[in-house]
């Protein structure tokens, strides 16, 4: 009895499974590229992780903010001292207030010596001599009377000058403003004097 031979050899069986080249190519591309995007480099991934969404150095940010605030305060202080209009408080703003300051600063007022005179009187009053105590009190009242008369004369002339320059109906209430400035030491006035003694405003 003759056994029939199988028409397919083992080699033919192995060769019976064929792979589609296009499908293998797609498989390799998907496995390498993910969702069709190029794989980022390692250096790019590390750099992205180092870059925070919010600044992590809060102390540096606070330091920068304090420096900015200090710079702004210095600008305001210098602007106030030099009479820059935008840095002045409301009571010092306006052309008439500037005229008053220049007018007061151009003259020598008795009131600006108030503080030194008071210091001298206090020192003299500590000496236990009755006659000297009476003299110091009399000197104090005499100086106050001179300062008040000086302020009255100042305001009288100042209001007349303001009326000639800005109009009599537009003169602001500056009597107290001029009196307060005239009673201060020249070195302590703010804004600082912008004119020398004798340089009267025009």
Per-residue model confidence as pLDDT tens for the chain (202 residues): 444 444 444 444 444 444 444 444 444 444 444 455 667 677 766 666 665 555 557 888 888 888 889 988 988 899 989 988 999 999 999 999 999 999 999 999 999 999 999 999 999 989 999 999 899 999 999 999 999 999 999 999 999 999 999 988 888 899 999 999 999 999 999 999 999 999 999 8
> Do 81 and 189 meet the contact criterion of CB atoms below 8 Å apart?
no
Q: What is the pLDDT of residue 78?
A: 92
* Locus of tokens 């600063």: 105
pLDDT at position 67 is: 87
pLDDT tens readout for residues 109-135: 999 999 999 999 999 989 999 999 899
Distances (CA, A) of 64 to 54, 61, 67, 91: 16, 5, 5, 33
pLDDT at position 51 is 58
């Amino acid at each position: 009895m003759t056994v029939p031979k199988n028409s397919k050899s083992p080699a033919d069986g192995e060769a019976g499974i064929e792979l589609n080249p296009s499908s293998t190519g797609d498989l390799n591309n998907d496995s390498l590229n993910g969702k069709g995007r190029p794989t980022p480099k390692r250096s790019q991934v590390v750099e992205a992780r180092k870059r925070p969404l919010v600044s992590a150095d809060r102390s540096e940010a606070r330091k920068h903010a304090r420096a900015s605030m200090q710079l702004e305060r210095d600008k305001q202080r210098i602007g106030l001292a030099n009479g820059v209009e935008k840095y002045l408080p409301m009571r010092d703003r306006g052309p008439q207030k500037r005229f008053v300051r220049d007018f007061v600063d151009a003259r020598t007022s008795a009131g600006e010596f108030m503080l030194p005179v008071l210091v001298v009187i206090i020192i003299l009053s500590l000496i236990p001599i009755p006659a000297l105590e009476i003299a110091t009190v009399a000197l104090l009242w005499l100086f106050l009377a001179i300062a008040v008369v000086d302020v009255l004369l100042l305001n009288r002339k100042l209001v007349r000058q303001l009326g000639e320059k800005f109009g009599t109906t537009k003169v602001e209430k500056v009597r107290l403003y001029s009196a307060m400035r005239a009673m201060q030491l020249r070195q302590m006035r703010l804004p600082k004097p912008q004119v020398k003694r004798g340089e009267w405003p025009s």
